[in-house]
Amino acid sequence: MRKHQLETPQHEKFRRGKRPIGTSVLKKSRTQYVWLNVLPDDLWLKVRQGETVWGALKREGVELESDCGGLGKCGKCKVRVLSSIGPPSKEEEELLDEEELKQGIRLACRTEVDKDFVIHTEETDFEAEYFQILKTGHRPFFHTQPLINKRLITLPPDLLDEGISEMDRIKMVMVPEYQDLVAPIHCLRTLPERLDATDYHGAAVLHENSLLAWQDWEEVDCHFGLVYDLGTSTLVGKLISLIDGSEVAVVSCLNSQMKYGSNVISRLKYLQDHANGLERFHNLLINDLNRITTRLLKAANLQPNDVFIAVAAGNTTMQHFLLTLDPSGIAEAPFSPVLTDGLIVGAAAVGLELHPEALCYVMPTKSGYIGGDLISVILTSGAWEQEDEIILGLDLGTNGEIFLGNHKRLLTCSAAAGPALEGATISHGMIAKAGAIEGVSVEADNVSYQIIGNIKPKGVCGSGLVDLVAVLLHCGYINHEGLLRPPRKNRIESLDSKMIKRAGVYEFLIASAEESYSSRPMYLTQKDIRELQLAKAAVAAGIQILMNDMGIVTEDIKHVYLAGALGNYVDPLSAIRTGLIPRFNPEIVTSLGNAASTGASMALLSKNYWRMANELSDFIEHVELSSRLDFNEFFVENMDFPKGNIW
């Protein structure tokens, strides 16, 4: 996703290649599909790689203005591309003006979708509404055995005159595996009517040994489940087909709890000061999830009664909010949650608006800061199914959750990285939304930025911060101790011109007043660099402690998987150059996409993975860094940036 390479004569080549989001842990499918996200309706289309935007929209019935029928002659099928975009085609250069091209305007009929892509189809001031929320990912192949299944059943006429109960008739047909079949009261109350309406030939909705509902036989193929990723900042919902495992629709939104703090600690503090805080947080979360659900069902022309199962994964605090469990014990040592077991509850009991007998599975956790989201990441990575190769995984955000090992031994820890990796506490930091610089590179002595939404920069998000510091380290404008100053030799004129001395200290001019969205200059300050050093030192110290406890060195790790908002957008080379992760071969570093929702969907689609998640919770050895005497030693050791460039 980088636009340029560093190729100055006096410097080595600094390759900025970025991996596709959600690279599969296993072999990729022969047929390549990518996601096209169409705003403002948040429509998600799974399209064949290389198909044009015009073709994908036309196939789905989305109308665009055009006089030439997609031949590239009229210049009217304009869309605004919010993802990174290559140079315009010859037709676009002729039909669009220079300002439109700078803003990411392209012709739908000449724009091929060769990666996950975001476009906006309407002329509107949408920049403030567009947030880059990671929604998709790739999961490994496995045999599906959904938590809920449907079975066609016909009750023979000779059973109808025996004077036995309706439930016994059904059990007689379904024996031996369902001889202990039971049914909830709602199902029993409607069963005679439903049997009669279907002429005793229908679809039984089954969960374990329980009959949840009796439906028309045509509804046997209307078989869907929901997955919720309960992020601290963002929420993602997915509608999953329980027949073939495909993602039918994906919807996201900002977490409404954000108004009470952007991190878990702020919300826990609010709970301590407000008696009704838990109820308020639960209601905000459920309202968000129900809005997401409504949009998901609308996309597939479904009703709430069509869905019988949902799986939720999030950090331990967010899962407590979902269940209205008091997470106050997580706020201070020994950081004790109410519950770490995986839980199965009625969806209605937590406020989800689905079928009255729908169930909600909530992923198991390990500790106060190792939640169901990291359990999901481990499932997605395949680490616990690996007998020999050692795997390192990082879910990077305000807390850096880390795991290391395989089926023989698996360690976890949570490093308090602080908010810098999400753009907070940085002079011009911001979350990943329109206007945020998410990538930085240099070519022919010129600094180039990749900006979300292809507009003038408003600030820098976490991946952009790591990238910028990595580039300045590589070019010698930041030394290994983190000091920002011009190098003594091999100086680059364009970078020199951006080194501004203010109050006796150098700052790097990211964008001038004319170049920035706010018409005010943007700087990278010495304090910003120090904030990044503090964050990356905590993560690196956590990794080092796990490696020491495992008795291994860097070369023993065969795969490194990155997850979380930062983990999926940061360039692996930048993470290595800044010391956020050790100096691995970049080829072994892979993004898992939205691994929290992927792991939850694996549990939804396979009883075996739900069982595995619960076994994982017991099997994991958690290392509490706050009680480790060697943490401060490793933290201090990792404050400096690595010496020397990678290539």
Give, as one character, the DSSP assignment of residue 182: B
Distance, in Å, from the CA atom of 174 to the CA atom of 349, rounded to the nearest integer, reads: 30
pLDDT at residue 324 tops 90: yes
| Residue 616: pLDDT over 90 | yes
CB of 617 closer than 8 Å to CB of 341: yes
Around Cβ 368, how many Cβ atoms within 10 Å? 26
DSSP codes joined into one string, 100-161 = HHHTTEEEGGG-B--SSEEEE-S-S--GGG-B-------------B-SSEEEEEE--GGGTT
Instruction: Encode pLDDT of 164-187 as tens digits.
Output: 888 988 998 887 888 899 999 999
Task: Read off the pLDDT of each residue in 461-466 and give the average, rounded to a whole number.
Answer: 90
HSE value, Cβ hemisphere, 13 Å, CA-based, for 30: 0
pLDDT one-digit tens code per residue, 7-22: 333 333 333 333 332 3
- Per DSSP, the residues of 579-632 read TSS----GGGEEE-SSHHHHHHHHHHHBHHHHHHHHHHHHH-EE--GGG-TTHH
Q: Give the sheet arrangement for strand 459-460, strand by strand.
A: 446-451, 436-443, 459-460
Q: Please, what sign has the CA dihedral across residues 63, 67, 70, 75?
A: negative
Please provide residue 153's backbone torsions phi and psi, each rounded to the nearest 5 degrees: -135, 135
Q: How confident is the model at residue 645 (pLDDT cuts 50, 70, 90)?
A: confident
pLDDT of residue 289 exceeding 50? yes
Cis peptide before 176 (omega within 30 of 0): yes
Residue position matching structure tokens 């028309």: 216
pLDDT value at residue 162: 67
According to the model, what pLDDT value does residue 31 have?
A: 63
Q: Which two tokens stand for residue 508?
A: 């790097």
Residue 124: predicted pLDDT: 47
| CA–CA distance, 195 with 199 (Å, rounded to integer) | 6
> pLDDT tens for residues 551-581?
999 999 999 999 877 777 888 999 999 999 9
Type of residue numbered 236: V
The span from the CA of 575 to the CA of 373, in Å, is 22
pLDDT surpasses 90 at 504:
no
Cis peptide before 40 (omega within 30 of 0): yes
**224-230 vs 459-460, strand pairing mode:** unpaired
Residue 582 has pLDDT above 90, yes or no: yes
DSSP state for residue 20 in the 8-state scheme: P
Amino acid making up residue 176 = P
- What per-residue string of b and e applies to 154-171 under the rule 16 or more CB within 10 Å gives b? ebeeeeeeeeeebeebbb
Chain centroid offset of residue 517 CA: 27
Residue 153 is predicted with a pLDDT of 93
The pLDDT tens digits for 87-124 are 888 888 888 888 788 778 899 999 998 888 888 886 54
What the chain holds in terms of domains, given with CATH numbers, is 33-129 (3.10.20.30), 149-221 (3.10.20), 245-362 (3.30.420.480), 381-419+534-637 (3.30.420), 421-531 (no CATH)
345 has a pLDDT exceeding 70: yes
pLDDT at 142: 62
Residue 52 structure tokens: 């044009």
Closest alpha carbon to 533 in 581, 478, 475, 579: 579
Is the pLDDT reported for residue 49 higher than 90?
A: no
Flag whether pLDDT at 126 surpasses 70: no
| Helix then strand then coil, % of the chain, to nearest 5 | 35, 25, 40
Query: Residues 506-552: pLDDT tens digits?
Result: 999 999 999 988 888 999 999 999 999 999 999 999 999 999 999 99
C-alpha torsion angle, residues 250, 256, 259, 260 (rounded to 10): -110
What pTM was estimated for this model as a whole? Answer: 0.78
* Range of 72-76, 431-435, 515-519 with top mean pLDDT: 515-519
Average pLDDT in the chain: 86
Q: What percent of the chain has pLDDT over 70?
A: 90
Which letter does DSSP use for residue 10 in this model?
T
- 380-428 confidence digits (pLDDT tens): 999 989 999 999 999 887 678 999 999 999 999 998 876 777 777 788 8
Residue carrying structure tokens 């091999």: 490
Residue 206: half-sphere exposure toward Cβ, Cα within 13 Å = 20
User: When comparing pLDDT for 160 and 121, which is higher?
Assistant: 121
3-state secondary structure 432-489: CECCEEEEEEEECCEEEEEECCCCCCCEECHHHHHHHHHHHHHCCCECCCCCECCCCC
> Nearest to residue 19, comparing CAs of 574, 617, 494, 606?
574
